[in-house]
Amino acid sequence: MSLANRDNSSAWRVAVIDSPKDLEQAFDVVCACFGQQTHDGIFFALHPGWDTTAGHSAGTQRFVERWRSTTKDRNGDPNTVFLKAVAPDTEQVVGFAIWVQASVVEGHGDAPADLSTTTDLEALYPGNTAEQRYACQLDASLHRRRGEVVREKATASPPAIMVLDLCVVHPDFQRRGIAGGLVQWGLDEAQRRGGLECTTEASSMGRHVYAKLGFKQEGGEIEFEVDEEFKGREVPSNIFMRTGVS
């Protein structure tokens, strides 16, 4: 599947990543956006050493492992889809998104899971249980409402949602409609899969794009519930957004 668009200066396309070779470039985009541009505290906690050779390699490998462990629903569709936005002339990855079909009903998607069950915390922070605990608390707080909605949908038809788990565009290529293309792909796919509602945790940078495409804010700022020793650390603004049932 692909989507093409053009502005006054560049052409690009969105396509499903079908090879691990793209994931190193994808992680470069994540680092440029969350590491260098916005200095995102959640990104720092979940990807320690991202700006070192070893940390970058480890972050890339986590993406590769997640991509390789993708499951499928009862219709044979992947429950996790990795997307890339590339310039056709160079095939350089300039945008990256992850869409997840989530459900607590078997065969309809992946159930929400704690960071402690999806990530090797000891590899992330060897011997540092405090940082392991902080990473888990951030992740649990950020995704709390997502998990609640997935469980609420257990009796819906279909009993699943599509989650925009990540969406980033390299700073050099922002404001060209690339993020919108990555998001629209998932909205279209959600319709194809039975009219699934879409949700996301939106940063201050991305929420205006999501709002233009039909996402609406639910509630106020996401509150990060962490132990007292971590409360002085900076965390980015995030809100929970959803499309509603079409």
pLDDT tens for each residue of 137-149? 999 999 999 999 9
Count of residues in the chain:
246
Spatial strand order in the sheet of 216-221: 2-6, 11-16, 80-86, 93-102, 161-169, 197-203, 238-242, 216-221
pLDDT tens for each residue of 172-227? 999 999 999 999 999 999 999 999 999 999 999 999 999 999 999 999 999 999 99
Place of tokens 């709002």: 211
Q: pLDDT at residue 76 above 60? A: yes
Tokens of 193: 């899969």
Report the C-alpha gap between 124 and 127 in whole angstroms: 9
Cα four-point dihedral sign 168, 30, 218, 235: negative
pLDDT tens for each residue of 11-23? 789 999 999 999 9
User: Do 109 and 103 form a contact (C-beta atoms < 8 A)?
Assistant: yes
Asked if CATH classification 3.40.630.30 holds for the domain at 2-242, the reply, yes or no, is yes
